[in-house]
Structure 1
Amino acid sequence: MLTRESPASENQVIAGTHRGGRTVAAFPIQPEQLSSEWFTKTLRASGKLASTNEVSGFEVGFIGDGVGLLGMVLRVSLKYARAEGAGPASVVIKFAHPVPENRAIAANLNMYEREVTFFNEIAPEVTSTERAIR
């Protein structure tokens, strides 16, 4: 398990516009680029963290057996500066595979696009699980 208290690298993908017209925020491309500042900004923007609070640290753990064929899924346990106005206790984040050849296979099969489409178009209709970012 990785514990992070300090800022990470700022080498992140550039923000852009989703084909549906929504603005897409910069997103870390690897777990090492996660930072308390990024979580604070992202959770505040989603309305899940009070403007008077901030993420003060976090722990990252793999879900499953680490890196899979197409990527890695992580559970991030969040720590907050104050209990009042705190956001979710944890979030789940999925990253593309760190090896370019594996990413190319997934891209050629449109697997990443299918997954994004699922989360943008189908997942909002599923009401059984709370999602921090929509």
Structure 2
Amino acid sequence: MKGTDVASRPEDPGHHRSTHPLRTCVGCRRRDRRSHVIRVVARPVGELSVAVIDERRRLSGRGAWLHPDPACLDLAVRRRAFNRAFRRPVDTAQFAVDFRAYLERRHARSDSPPSSLEAGHYPHGNSMSTQR
């Protein structure tokens, strides 16, 4: 539209501006913050590719995003969403096992009791601060 700038256009009521990167879960198709979903990448193994979890979000290649929820995993596998996301055939059988184990480990870490060390303190209890 000539003569109209972006700022003067009315906002789409279904769209909200977020300062956080949003990603779409390949399972449930809901958009969520990047910090709330897990990145998955495809790694070639012979003629097929296997899906692997990219915990640090640094592996190269196309990524797909998945909520840390077994229901989203089941939907993605049933809909063959990984094949579409990676644009190639992907073996998801082993990934499903690995993903569930990853969720269990993640859940176990969040349930573990907090460390007896306080942030900013050495193991013997003295402060790490140089200001006294």
TM-score normalised per structure 2: 0.26
Which has the larger Rg? 2
Higher strand share: 1
